[in-house]
Amino acid sequence: MAMNEIEILKATPHLAREHWWGWEIPVYLFLGGLAAGIMILTSVRVLRDPEGERSETFRLLSWLAPLVLSIGMFALWLDLERRWDVPRFYLAFRPKAPMSWGAWILLAVYPLVALFALGELRGRWRDRLAPRLRAVADWADAPAIKRRLAWGNAAVGTLLGIYTGVLLSAMSARPLWSSAVLGPLFLTSGGSTAAALMLLFRVDERERRGLSKLDLGLICMEVALLGLFFLNLMTGSDTSQRAGGLLLGGPYTASFFGLVVFGGLAVPLFGEAREMRGHNGSRWFLPLLILIGGLALRWILVAAGQASSWNAL
Amino acid sequence: MNDRRSESLQDPRREGAPLWNPYVAGVALGLVLLASFVVMGQGLGASGGIARILVTLLAPLMPEAIASNANFRNLLAEGNPLLHFLVFLGLGVLLGGYVGAMTGGRIRIQLERGPRMGRRGRIAYALIGGLVMGFAARLALGCTSGQALSGGATLAAGSWVFMMCVFAGGYAVAWFVRRQWI
Contacts of A262 in chain B (CB under 8 A): 92, 95
Angstrom CA distances, A37 to A52, A116, A293, stand at: 21, 15, 15
More confident: A275 or B167:
B167
Classify residue B91 by its DSSP letter. H
Categorize the per-residue pLDDT at B20 as very low, low, confident or very high, splitting at 50, 70 and 90.
Answer: confident
Classify residue A310 by its DSSP letter. S
Please enumerate in sequence order all residues whose Cβ is within 8 A of that of A62, keeping only pairs 6 or more positions apart, or say none. Answer: A38, A42, A113, A116, A117, A120
Calpha distance A291→A301 (Å, rounded) = 16
Whether A278 has its CB under 8 Å from any CB of chain B: the answer is no
Quick check: A62 and A45 in contact, CB under 8 A?
no
Q: Which amino acid is at B100?
A: G
Angle, helix A98-120 to helix A131-141, in steps of 10 degrees = 100
With b meaning 16 or more CB within 10 Å and e meaning fewer, what string describes A119-157?
Answer: bbbeeeebeeeeeeeeebbeebbeeeebeebbebbbebb
Taking the CA of residue A245 and the nearest CA in chain B, the distance in Å comes to 11
What tens digit of pLDDT does each residue of B45-69 get? 888 888 888 888 888 888 888 888 8
Among A252, A282, A300, the residue to mutate for chain B (most B Cβ within 10 A):
A282
What tens digit of pLDDT does each residue of A248-307 get? 878 888 889 889 999 999 999 988 888 877 776 677 888 999 999 999 999 999 988 887
Q: Is the pTM of this model over 0.85?
A: no
What tens digit of pLDDT does each residue of A142-159 get? 888 888 999 999 999 998
Residue B5, pLDDT score: 42
With b meaning 16 or more CB within 10 Å and e meaning fewer, what string describes B86-101?
Answer: bbbbbbbeebeebeeb
With b meaning 16 or more CB within 10 Å and e meaning fewer, what string describes A195-228?
Answer: bbbbbebebeeebbebbbebbbebbebbeebbee
Among B38, B42, B52, B88, the residue to mutate for chain A (most A Cβ within 10 A):
B88
Average pLDDT (A54-60) is 82
Burial (CB count within 10 angstroms: exposed 0-12, middle 13-18, buried 19+), residue A60: middle
Contacts of B105 in chain A (CB under 8 A): 279
Calpha distance A119→A134 (Å, rounded) = 9
Calpha distance B79→A235 (Å, rounded) = 32
| Alpha helices in chain A, H assignment, sequence order | 2-11, 13-16, 24-48, 56-60, 64-79, 98-120, 123-127, 131-141, 143-169, 182-199, 205-234, 238-245, 253-255, 267-276, 285-307
What tens digit of pLDDT does each residue of B99-153 get? 888 888 778 788 888 888 888 988 998 999 899 988 888 888 778 888 888 888 8
Hey, are the CB atoms on A259 and B95 less than 8 Å from each other? no
Residue B13, pLDDT score: 47
- What's the CA dihedral at A259, A265, A267, A268 to 10 degrees? 120
Calpha distance B79→B66 (Å, rounded) = 15
Taking the CA of residue A228 and the nearest CA in chain B, the distance in Å comes to 20
Classify residue A260 by its DSSP letter. I
Nearest to B95 among A253, A255, A262 (CB): A262
Hey, are the CB atoms on A258 and B91 less than 8 Å from each other? yes
Angstrom CA distances, A179 to A97, A157, A233, stand at: 17, 21, 8
Average pLDDT (A62-74) is 90
What is Dmax (Cα atoms) for chain B?
57
Residue numbers of A between 245 and 264 with CB closer than 8 Å to B: 249, 251, 253-255, 257-259, 262-263
Contacts of A257 in chain B (CB under 8 A): 88
Taking the CA of residue B15 and the nearest CA in chain A, the distance in Å comes to 14
What stretch of H or E contains B89?
Answer: helix B85-104
Contacts of B98 in chain A (CB under 8 A): 267, 285
Whether A281 has its CB under 8 Å from any CB of chain B: the answer is yes
Tally of CB atoms within 10 A around A51: 5
Average pLDDT (A119-126) is 78
Residue A290, pLDDT score: 94
Contacts of A279 in chain B (CB under 8 A): 102, 105
pLDDT above 50 (res A102):
yes
Classify residue B168 by its DSSP letter. H
Residue B9, pLDDT score: 45
Classify residue B147 by its DSSP letter. I
